[in-house]
Copies of this chain bind each other. A is one copy, B any other.
Amino acid sequence: MTTQALVSEIKKKQSFLCIGLDVDLTKIPSHLLELEDPIFEFNKAIIEATHHLCVAYKPNIAFYEAYGLKGWTSLQKTITYLNTNHPEIFTIADAKRGDIGNTSTMYAKAFFEDLAFDSITVAPYMGKDSIEPFLEFKDKHTIMLALTSNAGAFDFQTLTTSKKPLYQTVLETSKGWKNSQNLMYVVGATKATYFSEIRNIVPDSFLLVPGVGAQGGSLAEVCKYGMNAQIGLLVNSSRGVIYASKGLDFATQAAQKAQTLQLEMADLMSDIL
């Protein structure tokens, strides 16, 4: 998917919501457990109930790998379902991969070609030649960890390097990489005040923002400092939407939570569009 198509979809739906499909069998409604593929059935119901309210879905790959072959099958069915029935949706493999060149190429093929995701999250620690193989794919997007939303973000990401915090060096350096136009960045919503510094370095890039909702970030703060003329934000909510209810009404309850966020987004976007 092109960035332009994503922006159009955001404008059309008045939403930059990304829903995290982090499916834990202990948390989904029990009536689904009797079905052959409870994870896929859960995802399908959530997607059908919420796809008009969001522009992206983000399965965290860990939750699928934890169930081995069965989990991988559920992931494959979910992405195929999305690509077949909702091709306008931007799909994110939240995989946080990164390895030396030829191995990164294998990961890129796995997620961009075999599974046909629009994008993947990657970790920057191994540097340029671990990320560039992902950037070679046309109309595919590579979302690099910059400043994450967890407590451990302060262990290394905010350390000073060349008089700047590491995450700023990461952002600046990555702009010089080949095909860097295919880069997006993960920026945690729990640190909204950092957004203005980040926007000085990457004014035009899309930022994937986890941590609104269960992790405690404020949507209004994120938008105040992080939004650009193309919106430039994908705000994710996982648990806050998909586990709204454990009952038969889980999908409609999820839709309600998604709608609350979407309405808030439409309001916050109104100044710009």
Q: Mark A31-68, 1 if CB is under 8 A from B, else 0.
A: 00000000000000000000000000000101101111
Q: From the candidates B72, B106, B115, B130, name the one contacting A152 in the complex (CB within 8 A).
A: B130
Given contacts A66-B107, A97-B62, A110-B65, contact A124 B76 (CB under 8 A): no
Q: Report yes or no: B107 in contact with A65, Cβ–Cβ below 8 A.
A: yes
Asked if A189 lies at the interface with its beta carbon under 8 angstroms from chain B, I say no
Q: From the candidates B103, B104, B109, B127, name the one contacting A153 in the complex (CB within 8 A).
A: B127
Q: Which 3 A-B pairs have the closest CB atoms?
A: A127-B152, A127-B155, A159-B161
Distance of A218 from chain B, by nearest CB (Å): 19
21 contacts between A and B (CB under 8 A): A24-B106, A62-B104, A66-B109, A68-B72, A68-B76, A68-B114, A94-B99, A96-B97, A96-B123, A100-B149, A123-B123, A123-B125, A124-B156, A125-B156, A125-B157, A129-B151, A156-B166, A156-B169, A159-B162, A159-B166, A166-B166
Which parts of A65-113 form the interface with B (CB within 8 Å)? 65-69, 71-73, 76, 94, 96-101, 103-104, 106-107, 109-111
Distance of A50 from chain B, by nearest CB (Å): 21
Find chain B residues with CB under 8 A from A65 CB. 106-107, 110-111, 114
Given contacts A68-B115, A110-B68, contact A148 B166 (CB under 8 A): no
Q: Mark A131-163, 1 if CB is under 8 A from B, else 0.
A: 100000000000001001111111111011110
Q: Report yes or no: B150 in contact with A114, Cβ–Cβ below 8 A.
A: no
Q: How many residues of A contact B (CB 8 A)?
A: 58
Asked if A128 lies at the interface with its beta carbon under 8 angstroms from chain B, I say yes
Distance of A177 from chain B, by nearest CB (Å): 9
Complex Cα–Cα for A101 and B173 (A):
28
Give the residue name and chain of the B residue nearest to A144 (CB).
Answer: B125
User: A109, A153, A155: which has the most chain B beta carbons within 10 Å?
Assistant: A155
Q: Report yes or no: B63 in contact with A103, Cβ–Cβ below 8 A.
A: yes
Complex Cα–Cα for A149 and B66 (A):
29
Asked if A170 lies at the interface with its beta carbon under 8 angstroms from chain B, I say yes
Distance of A115 from chain B, by nearest CB (Å): 7
Q: Report yes or no: A62 in contact with B169, Cβ–Cβ below 8 A.
A: no
